[in-house]
Structure 1
Amino acid sequence: MRRSKLQDLRVRDIMSADPVTVTPDETLGDALGKMRKQEVHELPVLHGKVLAGLITMTGIIRRKALPHETKVSTLVQPAPEVAPGDDLPTVAEKLIQTGFRALPVVDGKRLIGIVSRTDLAKVIADLEEFESVKVRDVMTPHPQTVSEDESLEHAIRLMQSLGERSLPVLDAHGRLVGVVGIKDIQDIFARPKTRESAGGIGGEKVHLDLQVKGVMR
């Protein structure tokens, strides 16, 4: 049965209960593995039963040289919380303003779920008030693009500067040939990193000199 108004719905109606979480003592490798398995870009971090914040894929990418043994505690970001009774326009505004793809749902200090942009998109598709809305009414005209021959690192920097999670990919003739996004980059970061040494100092490095066409969809 279709609902007629977005305002009729509350966070509790669309949130994902019992989300996958990590603890501050788990490693970056643990977090990346859970993100990849669950196909998510944010994970709530719990200290005991109390929400400590989120670990996000964008935060991990920003600090690309981190070894997989890095503790989650060094990557925790504070995140705005929402309550189960909050209306969806309020949640949508918080997601847009903060740039997060998902927000923790708390009852007091207890984590009870997570609500994401995907959850919102699914419910909007089933609302009568949006049946007459066309793509042209909500699209971003003349979006920023990236060339298929440019490096993955360039694409990451461009996404970070724009606050975007994906970019259209064009070939040398300006034709659309795919999309590159955080999920594609997440797969690169989840791979075991290669060790390099310089001047006797060991380190770990994610190779981002790959061309965009090698990872795009």
Structure 2
Amino acid sequence: MVGESIEGLKKRELLRSLIDANKVGDLMRKKFETVDPETALSDVVAKMKSSDLHEIPVVDGKKLLGVISYGTVIRKKNLVIGTKAKTMVESTPEISLETPLTEVAEHFLSSGYRHLPVTKGKTIQGIITRANVISVLPKLKEIKSLKVSDVMSDSARSVHEKDLIKNAMGLMRDLEVRTVPVVDDYDRLVGIIGIKDLVQYSWSGAGTPNQGRKDMAGNNNPVELEVRSLMHDSPITLTADDALTKAINTMVDKNISTIPVVSGERMVGIVTKYDILELVASVRNRDMVYTQISGLEEEDRFSLDTMEKEIQSGLAKIAKFTRPLLFTIHVSKYNNTGNTAKYSLIGRLTTENSHFMSKAVDWSLGQATVELMDNLDRIVTEKKEHNLDVRMKKNLHKKV
């Protein structure tokens, strides 16, 4: 165990130094689009679509005020398109030309943004993207041995091709994702749909025959359209055994964030830029495990202390077998009946040797967290015992 920890530490330190040797100023976009505070939301969305941006900086002269995000747009209900940009601005993490790339990756995870402004003081200098960060990995020999299965999520949610657009938007809102795979009646992958497709349709001012105006509210749009009418057919796919570098190069070259992982015609998982950023952030120098909880609604934040206590307790148990580096957990609510809702939790753990995923569902957020951490502890223990058994068998064969 000690030998493995020292070896793992050396590998992480080497990988961190190689990643952080890449400078933000060399990777960022120096030419970028912005909007001013008085720009109408309809024009903001149009510019984001034409420039292929998930976030766009709002500036007053050269001073950065914040960004407007697609995520903000779909979270707002009954939002009038005539709304000005200044009422939609969100703050961003502070990233300078000197910020280490592993820290930038952590900011992407914590903020959920796809594009982040780089500043000097209050003045914007450029834009760095998730693709910019992960693009440095394929050239590192330490990454070349990894497979898609090492980072992919094997519990990806999908929508049916006959589902309504509003259902796809609801799933994206609940899971805080921007792209969702589409399946047919036989659970076969038939397409993929992204937030840019949905936002452009829902907020473009297309409207019904009597609503073709730019100032209409979001819930007045004709969202009875089926997903298959907007989805992208024949999506790019990978297998679990494909090299991770292939996934990264495909994402960067094709400008896509999400790739379904298939076995035959069936989807068995999904790999995203977020998954790869977790790998980058996991090697950052820190004294404690990086932990993030997303999807928690304001009314459930009273359970945050309980969740954090159970998470820390669970990670302490896991630390007896392997060192936890990064843990993310996403909370979704469904089956709302009166004052009662059911909670669905998905947790992803990165350790010094592997990646693990666990799910839990319960009417109690605290109990769901306990179940999630117990599941993770069991999975990690089983993996450790399996590895030990494999080593023992190898040693026996050597003696024979």
Q: With structure 2 as the length reference, what TM-score do the two structures score? A: 0.50
Structure 1 residue 98 corresponds to structure 2 residue 111: yes
Point out the more displaced range, 127-136 or 99-108.
127-136
Aligned to 1:208: 223
Structure with the bigger percentage of helix: 2
CA distance in structure 1 between the aligned counterparts of 2:36 and 2:118, rounded to whole angstroms: 17
Gaps of 5+ in 2: 1-16, 233-400
**2:142, 2:30 → 1: CA distance?**
27
**8 Å Cα contact 1:64/1:206 also seen in 2:** no
Q: For 1:52, which of 65, 73, 76 is the aligned residue?
A: 65
Amino acid at match of 1:51: L
Aligned to 2:96: 83
- Aligned-pair CA distance for 1:126: 3.4
The answer to which of 36-45 and 55-64 deviates more is 55-64
Residues 171 and 177 in structure 1, CA contact (< 8 A), matched pair in contact too? yes
1:20 is matched with 33
Listed as ranges, the gaps of 5+ residues in structure 1 are none
CA contact (8 A) 2:202 2:223 kept: no
Where in structure 2 are the equivalents of 1:35-184 lying within 5 Å? 35-184=48-197
AA partner of residue 124 (structure 1): L
CA contact (8 A) 2:205 2:216 kept: no
Q: Separation in 1 of the partners of 2:42 and 2:159?
A: 29
What is aligned with 1:11?
A: 24
Shift of 1:65: 3.6
Per-residue deviation, residues 96-131 of structure 1 (Å, max 9, x unmatched):
111111111001111001111122232323333322
SS at match of 1:160: helix
- Using the TM superposition, name which of 38-47 and 65-74 deviates more: 65-74
Which residue is 1:32 aligned to?
45
CA distance in 2: counterparts of 1:61 and 1:137, whole angstroms = 32
Letter of the aligned partner of 1:158 in structure 2? Answer: L
CA offset at residue 156 of structure 1?
1.2
| CA distances 1:5-46 after superposition (whole Å, capped 9, x unpaired) | 212112112111132100111111221121111111100000
Bigger Cα displacement from structure 2, 120-129 vs 71-80 = 120-129
Query: Which amino acid in structure 2 is aligned with residue 77 of structure 1?
Result: E
Which residue identity does 2:115 align to in structure 1? A
Q: What is the number of residues matched between the two proteins? A: 210
Instruction: Provide TM-score, normalisation by structure 1.
Output: 0.89
Structure whose alpha-carbon radius of gyration is higher: 2
Q: Which fold has the larger relative contact order, with Cα–Cα distance below 8 Å and residues 6 or more apart in sequence? A: 1
Instruction: Report the secondary structure of 2:136's partner residue.
Output: helix
